[in-house]
């Protein structure tokens, strides 16, 4: 009987230790996404047509954040005000962007409306 109890205790301790290690590793090696890129991608039409010369909207958003794409580079988005929104995003500081995300509880639709 004590063998079973010892085995259960050992497995419990190992499980807890493994969980604690994984929680620590997830926090330590967390890859934070750039909120500017997330927001830039969110205001794009999402057609992934490639007319901007980038591999899809995500690629364009990355290029915009890096400075290799211009705000008016998305042709389908020109009629829907994408360049103005991208210029607004570009003009905001990192602190302003993070505050905008916090105020809207990271709800990307609410953030887009607030722009």
- Binder among 39, 52, 65, 111 for ligand SF4 (CB under 6 A): 52
44 binds ligand SF4, rule: CB under 6 A = yes
How many whole angstroms separate alpha carbon 53 and alpha carbon 60?
8
How many other C-beta atoms are found inside a 10 Å radius of the C-beta of residue 36?
Answer: 17
How many other C-beta atoms are found inside a 10 Å radius of the C-beta of residue 51?
Answer: 13
- Binder among 57, 89, 100, 111 for ligand SF4 (CB under 6 A): 57
54 binds ligand SF4, rule: CB under 6 A = yes
Tell me which residues touch ligand SF4 (CB under 6 A).
Answer: 44-45, 47-52, 54, 56-57, 60, 74-77
């Amino acid at each position: 009987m004590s063998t079973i109890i010892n085995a259960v205790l050992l497995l419990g301790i190992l499980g807890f230790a493994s969980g604690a290690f994984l929680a620590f590793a997830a926090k330590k090696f967390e890859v934070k996404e750039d909120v500017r890129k997330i927001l830039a991608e969110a205001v794009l039409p999402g057609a992934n047509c490639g007319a901007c010369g980038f591999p899809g909207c995500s690629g364009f958003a990355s290029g915009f954040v890096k400075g290799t794409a211009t705000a008016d580079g998305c042709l389908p988005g020109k009629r829907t005000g994408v360049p103005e929104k991208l210029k607004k995003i570009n003009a905001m500081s990192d602190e302003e962007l993070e505050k905008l995300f916090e105020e809207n509880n990271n709800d990307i639709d609410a953030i887009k409306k607030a722009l």
